[in-house]
Structure 1
Amino acid sequence: MLINALKNTLRGIILIIIASIIILVADLNNRKKTEDIKQTNALQEGKVYKIGIGYFAPEIAWDNCMKGVINGLAEDGFVLGKNLELVQSHANAEIASIPAVFQNLDNQDVDLIMASSTPCLQASIKAVKKKPVVFTFVYDPIAAGAGKSFDDHYPNVTGVGSFPPVEETVDFIKKFKPSAKVVGTIYNSSEANSRKVIASSRDFFKKQGLKLEEITITNTAEVFQAAQVLCSKNIDVLWITGDNTVMQAFDAVVKNMDKSNVPIIVNDVEFIDKGAMAGVGIGWYETGKYTSKLLKRVLLGEKPANIPFENFVQKSISLNHKKAKEKGIVFPNEILEMEKNTASTTSSKPQKKLKLVLVHYVDSPVSEECEKGIMDGFKKYNYEINKDFSLKIMNANGDIGTLNSIINAVTAEKYDIVLLTSTPPLQAIAKKIKNTPVVFSMVADPVAAGAGKSFTNHQDNITGVSTFSNFEKMIGIIKQVMPNAKTLGTIFVPAEINSVVYHDYLKQECNKNNIKLISIPVTSTNEVSDAAKTLVSKGIDAVCQINDNTSCISFPSILDAANKAKKPLFSFVSTQVKDGAIMCIARDYYTGGIDAIKLFDRIVKGENPKNIPFEYVSKTNLIINMKVVKQYNLKIPEKLLKEANEIIK
């Protein structure tokens, strides 16, 4: 009896001890979590918080998401230029380049890494080993492989998913065009976000009695042809979900659909301004603001493992009334009401009237196009001249002495932001202005101009848009059009750094293709006419004229000499094709102006130029003058004609 009693007592003691240990461990865990959360209560005085940001490529929807992130963080006390620094890097729309972006960020001195887009989230999961990761601009983090559920995920990862309103989109298409029978779509089969959305949409289309024609692509180069194939299938409507690859080539989609009078419906409403007829989707600005709350928690010490993923979508419907009017389309009243009921905020005005200056080196067709883009960029980003800012435009008319005087005047004045076009002003301003934010466009090589060591490591107050010519593409085109060409000619200006850089790159590309380049140097516009006559007498097969300030002003003289010698002239400036060049592969200087204002807008919203990498202009044009082609009895391959943005007949 006594032994049994002792045994029972011992069992009871053991059970009590085990229960106490369980309660103690649970309490310690809870305390640990509580301590993690307590760390998020306050900012550390004097600390500069650093966020590394990896993204797919620049585009409008991502820009709006970032505005939301920045404004949301500012509301919580993280202010760019004061106690917040952003280190940004993108993969230039190349999925294969994304892992390197995140490996590099993981080795940077940052507090956390923000992964923007599904391919970037997928890469960060594998590449980031040292830093916490917060994702946004992602449809479905589970499909991306970030976890088994919103609560059970990788311990160093948290963030915000924003799955698009797929059923509402299909419903919208049916209401927008009740007679529709076939809807087309294009997506990258390697993007998990796109695969998930398309898969979830099929039943919804089937229920509405709509056939979904799917075309998959693997890179941006395939988008144009995919759009052509869909047009040949007599689709009634094109639907594009937020596929990163397709959005980078959206201009090619619009071009094909406009030719076939097929309206485009998107899930990224920001692409209304790019030519879509309507958007049923996500207000990315609000998603960015929502993400800022998670960023704050991680910045202040809370561990991602304790933060469940969240899904946030503010549904937004936007209609392109201008395009509808052009196409003779009348939106049903039901759809108009839907638009009224779903408004989203995408931008905010500067708190004071800004004082701006725009500096040109020369007055040329190229600078005029760029300035027009700048002015339209202000409108696009909702800035009004004389209301939100004053703008003084100064032009050196190609004279270095005058340019130096202008730069001295700009330095003496207290401008809020300096805008400039072309290389000479950038060279001068980089030496004299160190504090005022500077945004450039129409610059070939900003690194060679002295604005930095690389596109990401540059002078703290300077950012902008490079319009570096595509020499590889140009030589490839010349070989297609003139396969027997052995010698090309060009004129360049040794005193212009951009001209020297262009000349050297053209020569390098010619050497790769066993083509001889004959070049004639000039020092001023007065020498161009004689130089052109000399050039065409050197036995060249064609003129391939690089773009610099001097040759751009004197282009009529070069063209005249080429025409008289019966030598076709290939150009890097779109306006020169209309003047008589046979064709061009030209950076779009108008778009370069708009792209510059996109960066300007980021600075106005509080971002430090130091943390904004230089960018390449987002659009390039292939323009062919068929009149000149016939004049030289040349044949243009059908593939090249299909690639052309414009054909002059």
Structure 2
Amino acid sequence: MRRREFIWLIGGMAACRPLAARTQQSDRVRRIGILLTETVEDDPYYEAPLKAIRDGLHDLGWIEGQNLTINIHRVAPKTAEIRRHIEELLAGQPDIVVTSGGTATGPLLQATRSVPVVFMAVVDPVGAGLVESLARPGGNATGFMRFDYSLSGKWLEILKQASPAVTRAGVVRDHTITSGVGQFAVIQSVASSLGVDVVPIDPRDDGELESGIAKIARSPNAGLITTTSAAVSAHRDLIIKLAAQHRLPAVHSHRIWVDRGGLISYGPDLIKLARLPAGYVDRVLKGENPADLPVQAPTGYEFIANLKTAKTLGLALPPAVLARADEVIE
């Protein structure tokens, strides 16, 4: 369900900030639009990064209700809905727009080549046509990568390490976006060397997911991988439920899956990643061109394992896997 939210907060802490921090901006109130492809209100997967970017802006002297307004659009990852929200957002004449990922960024750049855009976590922005190159984006958009495609192959490697008997794996991916195709292609490229047959599962609706995962589960020694996209995340709780129901070991791209009952995740810390766009927003609002700001990649990834889920699945995670984990949930 879409929800539009205008946030006007009085920066009560501003009086405690150094004068330079409070006066570095122009007198004009600047407008930031934020476009999130989110289907569940108050979803921590989106809300925590949103708070991180707002905190980052505050630390740079941008105070909501004083020199800044933020117009947040939350929209289901459906083409018509995204386009409608983009039209509404641009009608507000924002000085800059921050997007959550490729699902929102692509349609936004089709709608405007003049409004500066900073994306928070996109997979393969060059392949998706969002920028000309990572070093020199060249257009009105820049931002931060979630990871490069090589990470996708590691999900299958981790699945095989966690459950060595796995010989067939379902891969939930959105085939309608370039990153969904790319992630599956990389997983497929390493599958034969690991002795695993991989099968794509589309997340178009609950019924298709249920039938696709049930089909994989009928194979002996089966497992599951979820790739990154708004369409996949929209079905997160159902996928976790189905993996438990069919006793499928599964590897995911972000810790929120493990926090909510998934087995293993390997990917960037999205909270740390979300603070970085504030710096680019600050620089653009001060006059720099997105075309000259290089796209940045994460400097590290986190490995999270859920022992409670492993026990529910009847799976004993090997000591080598547990030793590799940055955090083990018990």
Q: TM-score, normalised by structure 1?
A: 0.44
Aligned to 1:393: 72
C-alpha distance 385-451 of structure 1, shift in aligned 2 (>3 A): same
Aligned 1:364-375 pairs, distance under 5 A: 364=40, 365=43, 366-375=45-54
Q: CA deviation at 1:607?
A: 2.2
Deviation at 1:555, TM superposition (A): 2.1
How far residue 495 of structure 1 moved from its aligned partner, in angstroms, is 2.1
The structure with more radius of gyration: 1
C-alpha distance in 1, partners of 2:207/2:121?
24
SS of match in other structure, 1:517 = strand
Instruction: Tell me which residue corresponds to 2:33.
Output: 357
In 2: Cα distance, 1:558 partner to 1:540 partner? 18
1:412 aligns with 2:91: yes
Aligned with 1:415: secondary structure? coil
Cross-structure match for 1:552: 233
In the alignment, is the contact (CA less than 8 A) between 1:495 and 1:523 conserved in 2?
no
Of 175, 188, 196, 1:515 maps to: 196
Counterpart contact for 2:174–2:203, Cα < 8 Å: yes
Structure-2 separation of matches of 1:645 and 1:619: 11
Secondary structure of the residue aligned to 1:615 is: coil
For the pair 1:626 / 2:330, whether they are aligned, the reply is no
Change (3 A) 1:349 1:363: farther
Q: CA deviation at 1:406?
A: 1.8
- Which residue identity is paired with 1:545? T
Q: 1:379 aligns with which of 58, 62, 78?
A: 58
What's the secondary structure of 2:86's corresponding residue? helix
Superimposed CA distance per residue, residues 222-245 of structure 1 (whole angstroms, 9 cap, x where no aligned partner): xxxxxxxxxxxxxxxxxxxxxxxx
Matched, 1:637 2:319: yes
SS at match of 2:200: strand
**C-alpha contact 1:525 1:551 (8 A) present in aligned 2:** no
- Checking the alignment, whether the CA contact within 8 Å between 1:492 and 1:521 is kept in structure 2 is yes
Query: Closer, same or farther in 2 for the Cα pair 1:517/1:575, shift >3 Å?
Result: same
User: Per-residue deviation at 1:642?
Assistant: 4.3
Q: Is the 8 A contact 2:117 2:141 kept in 1?
A: yes
Cα distance between partner residues in 1 of 2:180 and 2:46: 16
Q: Distance in 2 between matches of 1:348 and 1:626?
A: 51
Which of 181, 190, 197 is residue 500 of structure 1 equivalent to? 181
**1:138-153 → structure 2 map (5 Å cutoff):** none
- What is the SS of the residue equivalent to 1:426? helix
Q: Which residue of 1 aligns with 2:4?
A: none
- Greater relative contact order (CA < 8 Å, ≥ 6 in sequence): 2
The residue correspondences of 1:341-352 to structure 2 (distance < 5 A) are: 349-351=24-26, 352=28
- How many aligned positions are there? 306
Q: Distance in 2 between matches of 1:634 and 1:532?
A: 22
CA-atom RMSD in angstroms: 2.6
Aligned amino acid, residue 362 of structure 1: E
Given candidates 150, 159, 163, the residue that maps to 1:478 is 159
Most deviating of 532-541 and 581-590 = 532-541
Seen in structure 2, the aligned counterparts of structure 1 residues 363 and 534 have a Cα distance that, compared at 3 Å, is same
Superposed displacement of residue 375, structure 1: 1.9
**Residue 113 of structure 2 is aligned to residue 434 of structure 1:** yes
- Residues 1:425 and 2:104 are matched in the alignment: yes
1:121-160 correspondence runs (5 A): none
Q: Deviations over 1:122-143 (max 9, x none)?
A: xxxxxxxxxxxxxxxxxxxxxx
Cα deviation code 1:309-328 (max 9, x no counterpart): xxxxxxxxxxxxxxxxxxxx
Shift in Å, 1:648: 0.6
Question: What residue is the counterpart of 1:462 in the other structure?
Answer: 141
What is the letter of the counterpart of residue 369 of structure 1?
A: A
For the structure 1 residues 349 and 476, does the alpha-carbon distance in structure 2 shift closer, same or farther, using more than 3 Å as the test? farther
Once residues 348 and 540 of structure 1 are traced to their aligned partners in structure 2, the CA distance between those partners, rounded to angstroms, is 62
Deviation at 1:547, TM superposition (A): 2.3
**Correspondences of 1:312-327 after superposition (within 5 Å):** none
Task: From 99, 115, 122, give the equivalent of 1:443.
Answer: 122
Answer whether contact 2:37 2:100 (CA < 8 A) is retained: yes
Cα distance in 1 between the residues matched to 2:315 and 2:195: 24
By how many angstroms is 1:453 displaced?
3.0
For residue 570 of structure 1, give the secondary structure of its aligned residue in structure 2.
strand
Cα distance in 2 between the residues matched to 1:582 and 1:490: 15
Q: Identity over aligned residues, as a percent?
A: 19
Partner amino acid, structure 2, of 1:635: L
Cα distance, 1:528 vs structure 2? 2.1
Cα 1:348–1:564, aligned 2, differ >3 Å: closer, same or farther?
same
Say if 2:258 is the partner of 1:569.
no
For the residues of structure 2 that align with 1:363 and 1:348, how far apart are their CA atoms?
38
Partner of 1:453: 132
CA shift at 1:481, angstroms? Answer: 2.2
After TM superposition, the score normalised by the length of structure 2 is 0.83
Residue correspondence of structure 1 range 73-472 to structure 2 within 5 A: 349-351=24-26, 352-364=28-40, 365=43, 366-468=45-147, 470-472=151-153
Quote the Cα distance in structure 2 between the aligned partners of 1:605 and 1:463.
15
Distance 2:141 2:66 in 1: 25
Report what 1:167 is aligned to: none
- Structure-2 change in CA distance of 1:525 and 1:450 (3 Å): farther
Counterpart secondary structure, 1:616:
coil
Amino acid aligned to 1:485: V
In 2, Cα distance between the equivalents of 1:395 and 1:377? 20
Distance in 2 between residues matched to 1:633 and 1:428, nearest whole Å: 42
- Cα distance 1:524–1:501, how it changes in 2: closer, same or farther (>3 A)? farther
Q: Which AA in structure 2 matches 1:474?
A: W
Structure 1 match to 2:266: 585
